[in-house]
Every structure is written in C-alpha cells, then in structure tokens.
Amino acid sequence: MDRWTRRVEALTDGVFAIATTLLVLNLAVRSGLQHHEFLAALRALGPKVLAYVVSFLVIAVYWIGHHNQFFWIRRVDRRLIWITTFFLMAIAFIPFSTSLIADYPNEVPAVLIYGTNVILAGLALLVHWRYASGPGKLVPQPMDPRVSAITSRRIVLGIAFYAVGTLLAFVSPIISVVLFAGLPLPYFMKSSEIDRRIKEQQAALEHSPASRRRSG
C-alpha cells in the first residue's frame, strides 16, 4: 500500500470522525429548568436521540464499507481521489440533514433532503468501488468476480432501500423515518463470502516472501 493510499485513508477517517462527533451537537438540554420542565425537555429529545443513533449507524455502515474496499485497493490515482472527495462531501453533510429530520420528522422536504443525502453517499461509494475494481485497476488482478459482485450488490441494496424510503415520504414522512431507522440492521450481518476471501488474502500476505523478509 503506497503513501497516497494511506493519506486518503487518513483523510477519510478524519472526516468520518468529525461527522459522527457533529451529530451529538444536536442534542442539548438548557440549564436552569425545574424538575417537571427537565423531564419534559428529556422527552422532547426523543426524536433527536433516535435521529442521532440512526445516523451514527448509517455513517458507521459507510465507514465499514469504505474500510473493506481499501483492504483490496493497493494504490490510488487522481480520479479515485476525486471520487473519494465527493463521497466525503456527502458524509460531511449528514449531520445537517440529520438535524432537519430530527427537528421536522413530519416534514416531507426534511425527509427528502436526508434520504437524498444518504443515497448520494451510497452512489459515491458504489462508483468508488466500481472504478477501483474495474477500469481503474487499483486492486490486485485478476479480481475475484464474486467478491466484486457481492460488494457492489450490498451497496446497491442499501441505495434501493433508501430510495424507496425517500419516495414514501410523499405518502407518510413517518413511514420513511421508520424505514431509515431499519436500514443499518441488515449490515450487522457479515458477508461470509467476503470475510472468507479477506481471510484467504490475509493468509496469503502473511506467507508471502516479502512478509517473511520483514518478520526476519
């Protein structure tokens, strides 16, 4: 892995760390409240706390996906750097769209902005992988077509899920919010095929001549 690849990963980790931190700034209870006012303020925070948890998990899903891609990506070029830039732009916008959906969960425009935000992030991540594993030739060749297909399919399913949830805002914004809350759950289930391929690749790297020379 070259120096530029490490710099891209460092920048990505920094943007993700800032985005997840900014999410919590939407949660606040003013001081000087009486007991009953304090309890009422805590109850009023419910939608904001839910939006915080959901968006934190959404950002985590995107970070894990990007992290897994860089297990295979061995180098970067200018085009991939620009794709990453647009991906991070979408990630950095999530705290703002989260604040909208937390404050106005019944407003169609708020749901549309949030849904469009996470869809664009997913599209950027998909383009990132398709380019790196395809015309960019930034992964070891030949790339196992099953790993490439599974990675793309998991991203596409997430995009499709969010697209459906976003469109349902015209029927009921609350239904959209509920669907958004459920999206990260399937990603808690690991992909056995991808995990197996990663372990095989790790074992191959550990037993490579270069690895043995470094350990010796």
Q: Do the Cβ atoms of 156 and 119 come closer than 8 Å?
A: no
List % helix, strand, coil for the chain (3-state, nearest 5).
Answer: 80, 0, 20
Nearest to 9, CA basis, from 150, 123, 128, 121: 128
| Confidence (pLDDT) at 195 | 64
Give the largest Cα separation in the chain, rounded. 69
**Percent of the chain residues past pLDDT 70, beyond the cut:** 83
Residue 43 confidence (pLDDT): 87
Residues counted in the chain: 216
Distance of alpha carbon 164 from alpha carbon 216, whole angstroms: 54
| pLDDT at 71 > cutoff 60 | yes
User: Which pLDDT tens digit goes with each residue over 31-56?
Assistant: 888 888 888 888 888 888 889 999 99
Band of the pLDDT at 212, cuts 50, 70, 90? very low
pLDDT for 170 equals 95
Q: What is the pLDDT of residues 138-172, one digit of tens each?
A: 887 777 777 788 888 889 988 999 999 999 999 99
3-class SS at 172? coil
> What's the distance, CA 202 to chain centroid?
24
Domain ranges of the chain: 3-196
pLDDT average, residue stretch 188-209: 60
* Average pLDDT of the chain, as a whole number: 85
Cα gap 96→94, rounded to integer Å: 5
> Is the pLDDT reported for residue 193 higher than 80?
no
pLDDT (mean) for 7-31: 91
In this structure, the number of other CB atoms found within 10 A of the CB of residue 70 comes to 19
Instruction: For residue 73, give both structure tokens.
Output: 């990506």
User: Where residue 214 falls among pLDDT bands split at 50, 70, 90?
Assistant: very low
